[in-house]
Amino acid sequence: MQKRYVRPLFWLALLALLAGCGETPTGRSQLALVPGPLMADMGADTFNQLRNTQPISRDAQANQLVQCVAQKVVAGAQASYPGLDFPERWEVVVFEDPSPNAFALPGGRIGVHSGLLRVAETPAQLAAVMGHEVAHVLADHGNERLTQQLGIKAVLLVVGLLGEGEFGSQQLMQALGVGAQLGISLPFSRTHEEEADLMGLEIMARAGFDPQQSVALWQNMAAASDGQPPEFLSTHPAHESRIRSLQGALEETTATFRSVAPAQC
């Protein structure tokens, strides 16, 4: 075998060896090779970039609501998945943006668009979105997507032959779920979205928010998203499919909700 093929085949073999070694909190096999501390650093850099370029809401009532819901959602996540490593603190910011979006980044950063508060009509509906976004972080979906984007470079990163500076900022932001135009979320894969939906349902219920409000939230989202493309053209599940999936998990999560003290925000 010629030498020029040996090294690439070695890295591919190493990648194959590492594949399937990890699992998400739901038990799904996962290949996520980027070191956790590096993901946290990238999350911090991205969040700081957003803070420096996007207007921040000064609405005291909105900020108080978002901070309260975020605190309870994080506590619910810790109670739901006690075996995971959690950041010591979470930074939460409300951005002035009319789009009904939110996002969470590795290292404990949560951003909420002011436009979401016009669609999420109750604290529980806001908790449904925030629980979903925190679930993306807990399941390491950004790491998994970045590993897929990098391919063999991810292995080089693990073995120390590739530095953080060799990543493009746009590539990093896309993997973290934030678009090239700052503040515009990019969809995760359907697998990631469905996993985050179910994890988020458990998180909000454990936090003391009625999980049935998640269905109401997505009904509101459907009403607010005129002209959405057909499901087969999008990695996001269509609203109807998402609602059906959530409804299928309501019995168990409602029992969880009834076993804890209701949240007050």
> Is residue 67 within 8 Å of residue 92, measured between CB atoms?
yes
Q: 3-class SS at 54?
A: coil
Lookup: tokens for 206: 């454990």
**Which residue, 262, 146, 119, 134, is CA-closest to 203?**
134
> 133 catalytic, yes or no?
yes
Q: What are phi and psi of 119, to 5 degrees?
A: -105, -40
Helices (H), the chain: 3-18, 36-53, 60-80, 123-138, 141-150, 152-158, 169-175, 190-206, 212-224, 239-248, 250-258
Q: Tell me which DSSP letter residue 82 carries.
A: T
- As to burial, measured by CB atoms within 10 angstroms (0-12 exposed, 13-18 middle, 19+ buried), residue 158 is middle
What is the C-alpha separation between 71 and 51, in angstroms, rounded? 20
**Which residue, 68, 47, 205, 197, is CA-closest to 133?**
197
| Catalytic choice (88, 121, 133, 144) | 133
Going by DSSP bridges, is the β-strand pair 91-95/109-113 parallel, antiparallel, or unpaired?
parallel
Q: 3-class SS at 252?
A: helix
What number of CA atoms fall less than 13 Å from residue 94's CA on the CB side? 20
- Catalytic residue IDs: 133
